[in-house]
Amino acid sequence: MWKALTTRPELRLNSEATGKPLKGLEQRKWGETAGAATASRTMDKEYVGFAALPNQLHRKSVKKGFDFTLMVAGGPVLSTGESGLGKSTLINSLFLTNLYEDRHLPEASARLTQTLTIERRGVEIEEGGIKVKLTLVDTPGFGDSVDCSDCWLPVVRFIEEQFEQYLRDESGLNRKNIQDSRVHCCLYFISPFGRGLRPLDVAFLRAVHEKVNIIPVIAKADALMPKETQALKQRIRDQLKEEEINIYQFPDCDSDEDEDFKRQDAEMKESIPFAVVGSCEVVRDGGTRPVRGRRYSWGTVEVENPHHCDFLNLRRMLVQTHLQDLKEVTHDILYEGYRASCLQSLARPGARDRASRSKLSRQSATEIPLPMLPLAETEKLIREKDEELRRMQEMLEKMQAQMQQSQTQGEQSDAL
Ligand code: GDP
């Protein structure tokens, strides 16, 4: 994209292809003669500088920094809640940071009665002068409890609350400085020990698939042989299709991309669900090369080795190639869907009166919360205008009466 813009021939004043000056660039400055304009163009090596436009955007974006909100979810490895799926380990490995320093892990017995909570952690990562504000939304307790019915509801509510907040901010006065807390992506961890998605996984994914970009991952993939991994991937892909669960769809690769990029893109798409291994340990492979990995008696599983797992593909996709697309899909499709249903519910007959609005706002989180503030403001404005109109009408009537009265008085005096 950048490359294409800087080399496009039509951006030159004197197009190399045609040898003719471009139409829009023939304009002269006030008072400048055609000859002077031509001379200055020739001196300028026939280059205006549009090619530098991307640099302006680049500088502006770098100055502003980037933000990204990532959610991690997924039940325990075993249905008894004995061990996590390696979510925190993977996140630390992905971003090379310790986001879970302050984490308190409950005992296995306490986990059985634990309910789901939502925890938000933030970290600012800087790399090569580029700042990224990463917010991690964790869902500890998901699937740990013996009774898991509706345990995903707080997650749905949380995602919707962020949409609602954004909608309010967008309709408010300070639109320029909106803090975007919407969840841009949900990494959903699937146990490597099951035979695909469990009913709890299906229920969770169904509840959120139209509200957030889902990227499924097979956790602790070092527990599986390569053949088993492929079989589990296929089973999960089939289940997702059968259950009509929409996961994040990679955009099609542009036809003018280079072959290397196209190959990487195809590889990435085929890897879904990504089979990942996480580790916070750096081990020495044969005593020489330090690598992030998990050491076993039979050898070392290297986290960043594409022959061992899909960790690199996941990181490349999440950070290098698709972060912006995930944000755009969140804004253009998922948030727009939410906004449209909000507007629809406002337009429904009866939805505008206060009674039905307060009834709607008490409805469960899975239904659409209404943006009360903008509507209230609009109603207040309408009431004020109505009042103004009524006063003007009264004044007009008074003036008409006075005019009529003076007219009759005039007629009477004429008659006398
Ligand atoms: P969380 O509760 O889902 O955040 O899980 P943790 O990251 O705390 O990991 C739980 C346990 O699994 C820890 O003992 C980790 O060392 C281990 N673990 C994490 N990732 C992996 C992995 O990829 N493979 C294996 N075999 N174990 C892992």
Q: What is the DSSP string of 225-285?
A: -HHHHHHHHHHHHHHHHHTT---PPPPPPPTTS-HHHHHHHHHHHHHPSEE----S-EEEE
Q: What is the pLDDT of residue 18?
A: 41
Specify the ligand 1 atom closest to the Cα of 85.
3
How many residues does this entry show for the chain? 416
Specify the ligand 1 atom closest to the Cα of 303.
23
Which has more confidence, 263 or 368? 263
Residue nearest to atom 13 of ligand 1 (CA): 86
**Averaged pLDDT for residues 228-232:** 95
372-415 and 354-361 helices cross at what angle (nearest 10)? 170
Q: Read off the pLDDT band of 115 (50, 70, 90).
A: low
- Between the CA of 310 and the centroid of ligand 1 the distance, in Å, is 16
- Between the CA of 265 and the centroid of ligand 1 the distance, in Å, is 28
Averaging pLDDT over each range in 17-26, 166-175, 325-334, 341-350, which range is the top one? 325-334
* Percentage above 90 pLDDT, the chain: 31
Q: Give the neighbor-by-neighbor strand order of the sheet with 185-190.
A: 119-127, 130-138, 66-73, 185-190, 214-218, 274-275
Specify the ligand 1 atom closest to the Cα of 140.
2
Q: Read off the pLDDT band of 278 (50, 70, 90).
A: very high
- Between the CA of 279 and the centroid of ligand 1 the distance, in Å, is 8
Q: Read off the pLDDT band of 111 (50, 70, 90).
A: low
- Between the CA of 86 and the centroid of ligand 1 the distance, in Å, is 3
Specify the ligand 1 atom closest to the Cα of 219.
23
Cα→Cα distances 332→67, 135, 335, Å:
17, 20, 6
Q: What is the pLDDT of residue 248?
A: 95
Task: Calculate the CA dihedral of residues 226, 227, 230, 231 and round it to 10 degrees.
Answer: -140
Query: How many angstroms separate the CA atoms of 98 and 123, rounded?
Result: 9
Mutate to test the pocket of ligand 1, among 85, 89, 144 (most ligand atoms within 8 A of CB): 89
pLDDT exceeds cutoff 80 at 287: no
Neighbouring residues of 83: CB distance < 8 A, sequence distance ≥ 6: 76, 77
Residue nearest to atom 1 of ligand 1 (CA): 84
Specify the ligand 1 atom closest to the Cα of 280.
16
pLDDT exceeds cutoff 90 at 79: no
Average pLDDT, the chain: 78
- Between the CA of 77 and the centroid of ligand 1 the distance, in Å, is 9
- Between the CA of 268 and the centroid of ligand 1 the distance, in Å, is 24
pLDDT exceeds cutoff 70 at 164: yes
Pairing of strands 119-127, 66-73: unpaired
- Between the CA of 220 and the centroid of ligand 1 the distance, in Å, is 7
- Between the CA of 88 and the centroid of ligand 1 the distance, in Å, is 7
The DSSP code for 318 is I
Query: How many angstroms separate the CA atoms of 296 and 357, rounded?
Result: 60
- Residues having CB closer than 6 A to ligand 1 are 83-89, 220, 222-223, 277-278, 294
